[in-house]
Amino acid sequence: MCGIVGWVDWKQDLRDKGHTIDRMADAVKHRGPDQAGTWLSNQAALGHRRLIVVDPVGGEQPMEKLYQGSSWVITYNGELYNTLELRRILERKGYVFNSRNSDTEVLLTSYIEWGTECVKSLRGIYAFGIWKESDQTLFLARDRLGVKPLFYYCLPHGILFASEAKCILKHPDVKAQVDGEGLAEIFYMGPARSPGHGIFKGLGEMEPGTWILYSPEKLSIKKYWSLESRPHFDSLDDTAARLKELFVSSVKSQLVSDRPLCTLLSGGLDSSAITALAAEGYKGQDGDALATFSVDYSDSGRYFAPNYFETGADNPWIHMVSNYLGTRHHSIVLDNVELAQALESALLANDRPGMADVDTSLYLFSREVKKEAVVALSGECADEIMGGYPWFYDPEVTQTPAFPWIRMVAERQRFLSPLLLGEINGDEYLQARYKEAIKEVPSLEGETTVEVRMREITYLNITRFMSTLLDRKDRMSMAQGLEVRVPFADHEFLQYAWNIPWPMKNCQGMAKGIFRKAMKGLLPGPVLERKKNPYPKTHHPQYGEEVRKMLLRILNDPLAPVHALIDKNTLQYQIESGRPLFNRPWFSQLMGDIQYLAYLWQINRWLEKYEINLLL
């Protein structure tokens, strides 16, 4: 994986703007610590930071290719899993390749041959920009599910694009401004984010499955892929077989790497299934067994108690799977104080407040994994696609017209300032975003009321909640220079699973029953039947004490910028009295009282660190 940046300007000569592009690219050197490159012309400047995974010699970027008198240049972040297949097709068409097996050159050549239609042939995760010098056109594209990020900012006479917002904010013509809509995203949608919303004023995010074609005449945006609803005719057995076929294909295609590869193993169904196939198909450079990694917290077991979302400890299951598959397992144990201290690092990686210790743990976990591996496979997306979360099965939640993972809105508003409440109607904002999402759902004639609603809930999870987890995974892992691949986020697997009828998805009376059936024989029976357990968080009071102290310091600082947005007195009284803020998670499965305090701390540090001008 890599970090990419670009600048097109019709009024300036960019050949002497290399220092600006270098500054923008250096902001994401964590994404690409191995190499740096810049390409400049009159109207275009491209930058790249490279994490070497495949073809160390032949994949340097920005990559330029001359063909029929034209110059084409690419800066690219991602991995193509059908590189060899595309290369053979292009070679039959007469194209000659200079690299050994670079997916960058295959992608660039695909655009030369098929133009904007090339994206329909790509299987993988990607975000890229291609400049055609003769036509003075820029083509930007993002993968179908938005695994890899891509932001853009329109200038009066040009455009900027980059992997992360921080790169664009390094440009001298861009200011870090946030208006009421951006704050609504932070305080109500957050730590999720509406698709396409970059939080900072003027900053857009390319939505998954879209491309942009930019020329001196116009800027065109097109959605090139979306889910399609169609009747499902396969029997139960045939559905399980087809699901397994697609899953096996996805996992095995993602084992290609010239650098050490591992899996992230929680002992749950999804990560265990990936690990089983990876352990079978991957052989290390020295013939070593597959490395697996798990995360936990010091002394966490002393304070853990099962609850509605967290059903039990992962460790016994992790060791069961590792022993069964013969992996080289590494159990990473994180320090609770360091977990709190890393809140700023996670914030800077994310460019906005995030999921508190859920983020920082992944940030620190990725640091430890990177000591042995450069590529990791992870189990994100299965629960959104297959219906694994508890809220899929709560009638009160499914019958409520709202995002299932956003809760306690009225309770949270107690802690907001009159200024912010006067600027934003949180309920109206959330309802508007919810209705936008529901309008997108591709309907299927003949479905029952229950089937229609479960299709809507699944769509919300795939297009809204899943993007939050993919964002988190990308930012926290790439902040450590670790490439994480997500086999469940394969568009062919997703498209097929999307149309499996809800009762069939939950066959055998279990959530994700069809996937459990598909994986039969691959894993031990108890693992196949294990209930959903979320990514682990710390339950040690030491973390909570550290976060409370950090936030109280802010509340006692009259110059803290967050005071304009919160009701300091109400919040401080609540903290010092020891009374709980909420009676259940206010976001997702893990965000409770301490996570809310950490989120507010991150908001304050975000305002300070990015020198944000609030437009209220």
Question: Is residue 85, in this structure, part of any structural domain at all?
Answer: yes
Which pair of structure tokens corresponds to residue 309?
């979302």
What's the mean pLDDT in 27-36?
95
| CA angle, 202 then 598 then 375, to 5° | 70
pTM for this one? 0.96
Q: Could you list the residue range(s) of the whole structural domain that residue 381 is in?
A: 236-528
Question: Is residue 136, in this structure, part of any structural domain at all?
Answer: yes
Alpha helix locations (H) across 466-536? Answer: 466-478, 491-498, 502-505, 513-518, 525-528
Lowest average pLDDT, out of 216-220, 299-303, 443-447, goes to 299-303
Residues 483, 513 share a domain: yes
Residues 273, 208 share a domain: no
Whether 303 shows a pLDDT value over 90: the answer reads: no
pLDDT of residue 523: 96
Question: Is residue 14, in this structure, part of any structural domain at all?
Answer: yes
User: How far is residue 270's CA from residue 383's CA, in Å, rounded to a whole number?
Assistant: 9
Spatial neighbors of 62 by CB under 8 A, at least 6 apart, are 37, 38, 39, 46, 47, 48, 73, 74, 75
C-alpha of 240 from chain center? 27
Residues 120, 251 share a domain: no
Residues 268, 127 share a domain: no
Question: Is residue 592, in this structure, part of any structural domain at all?
Answer: no
Residues 358, 210 share a domain: no
Whether 403 shows a pLDDT value over 60: the answer reads: yes
What's the mean pLDDT in 36-62?
92
Residues forming beta bridges with residue 6, ordered by sequence position = 46, 161
* Complete DSSP assignment for 284-340: -TTSPPPEEEEEEETTGGGT----SS--S-SHHHHHHHHHHHT-EEEEEEE-HHHHH
pLDDT of residue 151: 98
pLDDT of residue 301: 76
Residues 210, 258 share a domain: no
Q: What is the DSSP letter of 353?
A: -
- Domain of 417, CATH number, reads 3.40.50.620
Domain end (from 195, 223, 251): 223
Question: Is residue 205, in this structure, part of any structural domain at all?
Answer: yes
Residues 304, 164 share a domain: no
What is the set of active-site residues?
A: 2
* Complete DSSP assignment for 114-178: HGGGGGGG--EEEEEEEEETTTTEEEEEE-TT--S--EEEEETTEEEEESSHHHHHTSTT---EE
Residues 522, 477 share a domain: yes
Q: 3-class SS at 33?
A: strand
- Domain of 77, CATH number, reads 3.60.20.10
Q: Indicate the pLDDT class of residue 310, thresholds 50, 70 and 90.
A: confident
Residues 103, 243 share a domain: no
For the stretch 328-379, pLDDT in tens is: 999 999 999 999 999 999 999 999 999 999 999 999 999 999 999 999 999 9
Residues 251, 204 share a domain: no
Which percentage of the chain shows pLDDT scores above 90?
Answer: 90
Domain count, the chain: 2
pLDDT of residue 137: 98
Residues 253, 150 share a domain: no
pLDDT of residue 283: 67
User: How far is residue 107's CA from residue 122's CA, in Å, rounded to a whole number?
Assistant: 8
Question: Is residue 614, in this structure, part of any structural domain at all?
Answer: no
Question: Is residue 475, in this structure, part of any structural domain at all?
Answer: yes
For the stretch 502-537, pLDDT in tens is: 999 999 899 999 999 999 999 999 999 998 888 888
Whether the CB-CB separation of 126 and 143 falls below 8 Å is answered with yes
Residues 337, 205 share a domain: no
Instruction: Identify the residue whose tokens are 């297949």.
Output: 85
User: How far is residue 62's CA from residue 80's CA, in Å, rounded to a whole number?
Assistant: 17
Question: Is residue 330, in this structure, part of any structural domain at all?
Answer: yes
